């Protein structure tokens, strides 16, 4: 890896791992956002330091053990499909800074699983969240590049993506507001049914319940009605015949 790529990855660690605020609260931000800037790229022989750290109580592969192979594969496949450039950078990160890669992957698993759960439950919402994730991811990668160069063209591209993300958020909030307004309307309609005098409402419900009870009582065989009321075993219907256990008449 070139020194330029290494610097890009360091900056990327602090930007690509912030969990999108459309999925979880803003307070859930990865510790990678701080540690990536504090730790310099690993030098040759640093593997020994990692081993010693593991002996001190922090297992070398502790982050990897927290993520199942299936979850790892699904997250990496998701990124490769929807943001190939980020996938390429992650592979570089895995080779040069494996601990940072594992922390990044842990956050990506959470993000991609949250999006994937919507695919069956709410397909329309799934498409919205997927588009939001792709915009967030693109912005973070470009911001990592801009932090090194402060290139005006990159800034313009990022600002365009930010505008798209804001427009998408506004549309999402408007849709959420409409759903809430519809729900509130249904609640108000239900409340309006309780606006009359209480005694009148009780009389109305009593009449409904009593009619249903009488209708259910009439559906019971007249010969069994008294037994049903008393809780006894009903007598056989006039249409029933005694059939021996062997089934012969």
Asked if residue 82 is part of any domain, the answer here is yes
Query: What confidence tens digit (pLDDT) does each residue in 2-46 have?
Result: 555 555 555 555 444 433 333 333 322 232 333 333 333 333 344
pTM over 0.75: no
Asked if residue 219 is part of any domain, the answer here is no
Residue 244 pLDDT: 54
Asked if residue 200 is part of any domain, the answer here is no
Cα 189 to Cα 48: distance, rounded to the nearest angstrom: 70
Cα 100 to Cα 13: distance, rounded to the nearest angstrom: 7
Cα 115 to Cα 128: distance, rounded to the nearest angstrom: 10
Q: Using alpha carbons, select from 125, 248, 243, 232 the residue that is nearest to residue 175.
A: 125
Asked if residue 146 is part of any domain, the answer here is yes
Instruction: Give the distance from CA 87 to its chain's centroid.
Output: 22
Q: What is the extent of the structural domain holding 9? A: 3-41+58-184
Asked if residue 246 is part of any domain, the answer here is no
The 3-state DSSP composition of the chain as helix, strand, coil percent (nearest 5) reads 75, 0, 25
Total domain count for the chain?
1
């Amino acid at each position: 890896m070139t020194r330029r790529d290494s610097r890009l990855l360091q900056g990327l660690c602090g930007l690509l791992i912030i969990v999108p605020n459309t999925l979880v609260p803003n307070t859930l931000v990865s510790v990678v956002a701080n540690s990536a800037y504090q730790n310099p790229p690993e030098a040759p022989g640093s593997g020994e330091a990692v081993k010693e750290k593991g002996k001190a109580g922090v297992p070398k592969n502790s982050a990897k053990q927290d993520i199942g192979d299936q979850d790892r594969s699904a997250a990496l496949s998701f990124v490769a499909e929807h943001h190939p450039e980020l996938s390429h950078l992650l592979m570089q990160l895995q080779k040069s800074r494996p601990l940072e890669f594992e922390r990044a992957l842990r956050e990506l698993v959470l993000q991609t699983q949250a999006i994937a759960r919507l695919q069956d439950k709410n397909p329309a919402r799934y498409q919205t969240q997927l588009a939001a994730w792709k915009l967030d991811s693109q912005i973070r990668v470009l911001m990592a590049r801009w932090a090194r160069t402060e290139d005006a063209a990159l800034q313009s591209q990022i600002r365009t993506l930010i505008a798209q993300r804001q427009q998408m958020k506004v549309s999402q909030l408007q849709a959420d507001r409409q759903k809430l307004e519809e729900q509130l309307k249904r609640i108000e309609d239900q409340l309006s049914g309780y606006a009359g005098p209480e005694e009148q409402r009780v009389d109305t419900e009593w009449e409904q319940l009593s009619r249903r009870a009488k209708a259910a009582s009439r559906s019971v065989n007249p010969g069994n009605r008294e037994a049903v009321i008393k809780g006894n075993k009903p007598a056989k219907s006039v249409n029933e015949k005694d059939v021996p256990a062997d089934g012969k008449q």
